[in-house]
Amino acid sequence: MMFTKAITRKPCRALIDGITTAMYDDATPVYEKAVEEHDTYVATLKELGLEVEELDADERYPDSCFVEDPAVVMERCAIITNPARDSRNGEKDEILPVIKKFYSDDQIFFIEAPGTMEGGDVMRVGDHFYIGQSERTNAEAAKQFNDIVTKFGYTSSTVPVTEGLHLKDFVIYLENNNMLVSPVMNEQPAFKDFNRYVVEPDELYAINSLYINGTVIVPEGYPKTQKYIEELGYPVKLVDTSEFRKIDGSLTCLSLRF
């Protein structure tokens, strides 16, 4: 799968009030350092050949730099999600104008209440989407999503998320049949036919690595996972996302890629 474009949004100062489960790090982000990390992240996407649409910071929404959550994009259509948390729900309205730059009205669809969904729960493998059933994404949204994408030749299925926040915190697809998984996701029947690497407990954050056109962006500071990815034959670029880690943010959620 080849990507040519990405959408990002600059972190806002309200980032320090972002939602967190303290799953990885019980600390407050340092805004200035988060901006530096984000700039490096965007520069890395550009180095890998992507044309990046950079949106301005939005102080109304502390978590708005995590643009992957209010929309899911693919070649044939785009779906505006319906985030479950009140503090994030308005992000879907703010992402719509930029989505309209790249998709016609008949290619844009919406998850409607009582369905709730965040893009961090949607993992693509070829033309199939695995949808995590989590506190943020419910069965009604998964049904609506399936009804939409099947019209365009895609398929979908659901996977329970029984730990943490989003599906892609615990399983990520690296193309070429390779996956990084947590011990729990390693037991999921849905993933039994993939080549799975079970990430060790002290490096779980590194599961959320990001495949871009043959290269894998890996969070800085997780040498065992980095070594495994390199041994698979992927070139690796390291990016520090330690400030975003403090509010459960990671590599995939900082961009929409298509």
What are the residue numbers of the active site? 166, 253
Q: Which amino acid is at 178?
A: N
Q: Cα(188)–Cα(252) distance, rounded to whole angstroms?
A: 22
Cα→Cα distances 165→50, 62, 79, 247, Å: 28, 17, 20, 11
CB of 242 closer than 8 Å to CB of 249: no
b (16+ CB within 10 A) / e for 212-233: beebbbbbeebeebbebbeeee
* Secondary structure class of 148 (helix, strand, coil): helix
Using alpha carbons only, give the angle 32, 37, 40 rounded to the nearest 5 degrees: 130
Is the four-CA dihedral 18, 218, 177, 71 of positive or negative sign? positive
Token representation of residue 46: 């550009």
Q: Cα(35)–Cα(31) distance, rounded to whole angstroms?
A: 6
CB of 195 closer than 8 Å to CB of 179: yes
